[in-house]
Each structure stands twice: as C-alpha cells, then as structure tokens.
Amino acid sequence: MRREQRGLYYEELTEGDCYVHSPGRTVGEADNTAFSTLTMNPQSLHLDEHRSAGTEFASRLVNSLFTLSTLVGLSVAQLTQRTTVANLGFGEVAFPAPVFVGDTLYAETEVVEKRLSRSRPGSGIVVFAHRCCNQRRELVARVRRSALMHRLPDGEEAAA
C-alpha cells in the first residue's frame, strides 16, 4: 500500500485532543533579520543590537509575527498538510514572554471545537488553540485559529 504524508481530515479531528508537534525550531539571527526586513518592519528592537542593549530586554527580540508564523507552521505536517482549504481567522493572539535569537520553539495544538460548514458541504470548520513554548518551557505565544478543513474523501478511510 502506498501512503502519502498528509494532515488530518475534519472527521479525524476530535474536540479536546491535543497534538504535540515535532521537531522544534531553533531561531537564528538570519531568520529574525530576514523576516523583519522582508515584511518591511524596521523596528530597531528586531534589527539594532546596540539600541536594543539599552532596553529592558538587553538584546534584540525576535519579531513576534515570526514567532506566530512559526507556531502555526510547526503544526502543518501533523494537522493540515493537504487537508485544509483555508485559514478563516486568527484570534486571541498573545505573546506572554519574549523570544530571543537562539531560542528553540516547541508547539502543541488542541482541537477546541468543530462543526460542519453550512455553505460548503465538503468542508468543516475547526478551531485550533496553538501554544508555543521555548526550551525552558516558558509560554511565548498562543493563538486561536479557525480553519476550513476538507472532509474525508468518499471511499477513503480515516487514518488509524
């Protein structure tokens, strides 16, 4: 039997289940600089070590939107690779602790709720609660994401 890597279909996701994603992602200096400049964010807290040394953080901070993007990205292979239609929205975004170059980010995702789509019969809506911790197990980011997910194709069985 041939199996292709994919995420989970709507029917394979269960409210209350929590998925721990692997591997983690260590943030490098080039990641932070490239993300900040590619997104036209010249904030000195991300780019200027000399100025940042004089802040309460004593060093540059990793761009929080890089942290958010990485958090969601860490979940893709396990949950949504080829099984999501689109993101519908992000809410309740929080960054309770800073991320610095050299930190390693780890993610987990809980399926908070799900319902069938009223307008798209082949899809369902799933709300995910993503959480991100650093290597010291400090919570550095959390977000709720609503996604439009494909339903299991006719004739295909749910993953074991």
Number of domains in the chain: 1
- Helix, strand counts (H, E) of the chain: 4, 6
How far apart are the C-alpha atoms of 129 and 116, rounded to whole Å? 18
Looking at the domain assignment, is residue 136 inside a domain? yes
Whether 24 is covered by a domain: the verdict is: yes
In a domain, 159, yes or no: no
Confidence of residue 48 (pLDDT cuts 50, 70, 90): very high
Which H or E run includes 153?
none
Q: Which domain holds residue 79?
A: 10-150
With respect to residue 160, please indicate whether it lies within any of the assigned structural domains: no
Q: Is residue 65 part of a domain?
A: yes
The tokens 């590619």 sit on which residue? 38
| 99-152 per-position pLDDT tens digit | 999 999 999 999 999 999 999 989 999 999 999 999 999 999 999 999 999 999
Residue 27 counted as domain residue: yes
Q: Which of 37, 44, 103 is nearest to 70 (CA)?
A: 103
Residue pLDDT, tens place only, 5-44? 899 999 999 999 999 999 999 999 999 999 999 999 999 9
AA identity, residue 131:
R
CATH for 43 = 3.10.129.10
In a domain, 144, yes or no: yes
Is pTM beyond 0.85? Reply is yes
